[in-house]
Amino acid sequence: MNEEEKNLENQEVQEQKQATSVQQTEEFDWDNYDKEVDDYSSEERQELEKMYDDTMSTIGENEVVDGTVVAITKREVIINIGYKSEGIVNANEFRYNPDLKVGDTVEVYVETQEDKDGQLKLSHKKARALRSWDRVNEALEKDEIIKGYIKCRTKGGMIVDVFGIEAFLPGSQIDVKPIRDYDMFVGKTMEFKVVKINQEYKNVVVSHKALIEAELEQQKKEIIAKLEKGQVLEGTVKNITSYGVFIDLGGVDGLIHITDLSWGRISHPEEIVELDQKLNVVILDFDDDKKRIALGLKQLTEHPWDSLDPNLKVGDKVKGKVVVMADYGAFVEIAPGVEGLIHVSEMSWSQHLRSAQEFLKVGDEIEAVILTLDREERKMSLGMKQLKPDPWQDIEQKYPLNSKHKAKVRNFTSFGVFVEIEEGVDGLIHISDLSWTKKVKHPAEFTSIGAEIEVVVLEIDKDNRRLSLGHKQLEENPWEVFETIFAVDSVHEGTVTEMTEKGAVVALPYGVEGFATPKHMVKEDGGKVGVDEKAQFKVIEFNKDAKRIIVSHSRIFEDEKRAENQATRKATKSATKKLKDNLEKTTLGDISDLAALKDEMNSESAAKAESKKDDKADEGKKDE
């Protein structure tokens, strides 16, 4: 074909293309162009959509389906449920399952097939919640082991997320050992068994301890079967109490009593052991069922008494620490596990009864002398006072008779005051030796416990270690002088200080007291002198030896009347005698004069009598 023919052919092809293009343009649906309609017809599109939907899973909203994890990010988990798009679940919903990985099958709840972003929204938490109650009941029936996430602490235990349900894990069901730090379990995923369900209140109780108890029970049986007294085992300190330590022997618990922890005295087991410490113990005893096992720790070491210095003997001085106090004495530890008793009577030379707490306290470091030593019985008695000289050895030289000293009041009795001149030297002041003038009914009226008082040594009893002391002897006996001041019939002003049935106590000058019986308290007008009332009193009796003065207020005016009567009788007697003497000297004429005088006097008397009679008659008429 020549060149010209080729050009004609190409021209024809171009014309055909142009004709086809014009035809297609004329046939294009310009009305549907703006409506984004594709090239498929409605029948073709329905057929294609049916073919596409047949390849997808049929799901509906609010359904629970299974899906496969296809991707995991920090915030989201991507899950394929066979839908046209993959769904997204918040990663926090899988917090209970840290082992989640790509490929795992999980249940999800379809919240919406397509949100505003065209995304499929799923929820694992809601799916678990919808199925959780059935699954929890199934786990209880089948004794199934399930996983749970410990969310937080609560009173008495923990809150565990199980299948989306908040279950309670009691503190006692976390482990076979007591738990000291609950916070260390928060945020952990652990295996549990459902042990109890309350259908009415929808409460679930789970246990982790139940998973390991079966295994421990088998270990426990094996250990108990091999137990023998004297056997040494390794254990772990499980719990510490004030009375002892509980040891875990591998599923079996034993107790080391506080007295079996150390040969020495301790106040609390924490001084010897600590929690979770591993140590060797010896089996001391157990009951028939081998449920109570007594263990010992100190028995694994030599007894301290066996290693005590063999040269130690009675009379030696030792140093130690007070470990126990009692009223009767103190226990002093001179070496770990070796103690001696200092009785309170060996703490001081004083015979005054005291408590050991007045001399020592727990923790004191002291020196003492060995009084007795019994290595077989492992007993020792000690003394403190032996470190000082006995003050009674030279008592006569130190406190001779009539010497004056200062003492401290220690105690009272109804008959006197016990005082201490120095430690170990006690004495008694009898109540009668307290005051020359005041009658002391009880020593508390005169002094007080702890007060300082001056004394005079009256008597020394070295054998019985007693001193008789006096206080009033510090002054001269004032009764020698009082004998002249308060002589019988002397009158003094006094104040009634006390009144009894027997009489009254009267305070007289110079601090002296007198006594008056009730009949001697009567006043001139018939009343009685009262308490705190001042009055004049006459001494009617003075006894120097008995230091007694009897006084009377009544005797003052009674004696005055008696004196007046005596004076009247004396004057009358004197006038009578004078008249008699005169009569003997009169003459007959004098007698006649006297007779006339007598008649005159009789007349006057008769007139007076008649006048009185008339007056009485007048008074009678007035009364009528």
Query: CA 483 to CA 487: how far, in whole Å?
Result: 6
Identify the CATH number of the domain defined by range 38-127.
Answer: 2.40.50.140
Contact yes or no for 149/185 (Cβ under 8 A):
no
Query: CA 178 to CA 160: how far, in whole Å?
Result: 19
Q: Any idea which residue has 């015979």 for tokens?
A: 351
- The partner residues of 233 in beta bridges, in order of sequence, read 281
- The partner residues of 204 in beta bridges, in order of sequence, read 197
CATH 3.40.50.1360 corresponds to the domain 311-387 = no
Q: Which uninterrupted H or E stretch holds 166? A: strand 165-170
Does the reported pTM lie above 0.75? no
* Residue 603: predicted pLDDT: 65
Whether the domain at 226-300 and the domain at 311-387 fall into the same CATH topology? yes
pLDDT digits (tens, 9 = 90+) for 427-455: 888 888 888 777 778 888 888 888 888 88
The string of DSSP codes covering 61-95 is: TT-EEEEEEEEE-SSEEEEE-SSSS-EEEEGGGGT
CATH 2.40.50.140 corresponds to the domain 226-300 = yes
Could you please state the CATH topology (level 3) that the domain comprising 143-212 is classified under. OB fold (Dihydrolipoamide Acetyltransferase, E2P) (2.40.50)
Sign of the alpha-carbon dihedral angle for 288, 294, 300, 301: negative
* Residue 14: predicted pLDDT: 58
The parts of the chain modelled with pLDDT lower than 50 are 13, 19-26, 28, 30, 33-34, 55-56, 587-589, 612, 614-624
Phi, psi of 301 (to 5 degrees): -120, 160
Architecture of the 395-474 domain: Beta Barrel (2.40)
Phi, psi of 264 (to 5 degrees): -85, 165
Q: How many CA atoms lie within 13 A of 515 on its CB side?
A: 15
pLDDT digits (tens, 9 = 90+) for 391-426: 888 888 888 888 888 888 888 888 898 888 888 788
Burial readout 11-32 (b: 16 or more C-beta within 10 A, e: otherwise): eeeeeeeeeeeeeeeeeeeeee
pLDDT digits (tens, 9 = 90+) for 161-174: 888 788 898 888 88
- The partner residues of 105 in beta bridges, in order of sequence, read 68
* Residue 220: predicted pLDDT: 74
* Residue 29: predicted pLDDT: 53
Ramachandran sector of residue 451 (left: φ over 0; alpha: ψ -120 to 50; beta: rest):
beta
584-592: long-range contacts, CB 8 A cutoff, minimum separation 24: none
Structural domain boundaries in the chain: 1-35, 38-127, 143-212, 226-300, 311-387, 395-474
* Residue 177: predicted pLDDT: 72
* Residue 440: predicted pLDDT: 79
- The partner residues of 374 in beta bridges, in order of sequence, read 379
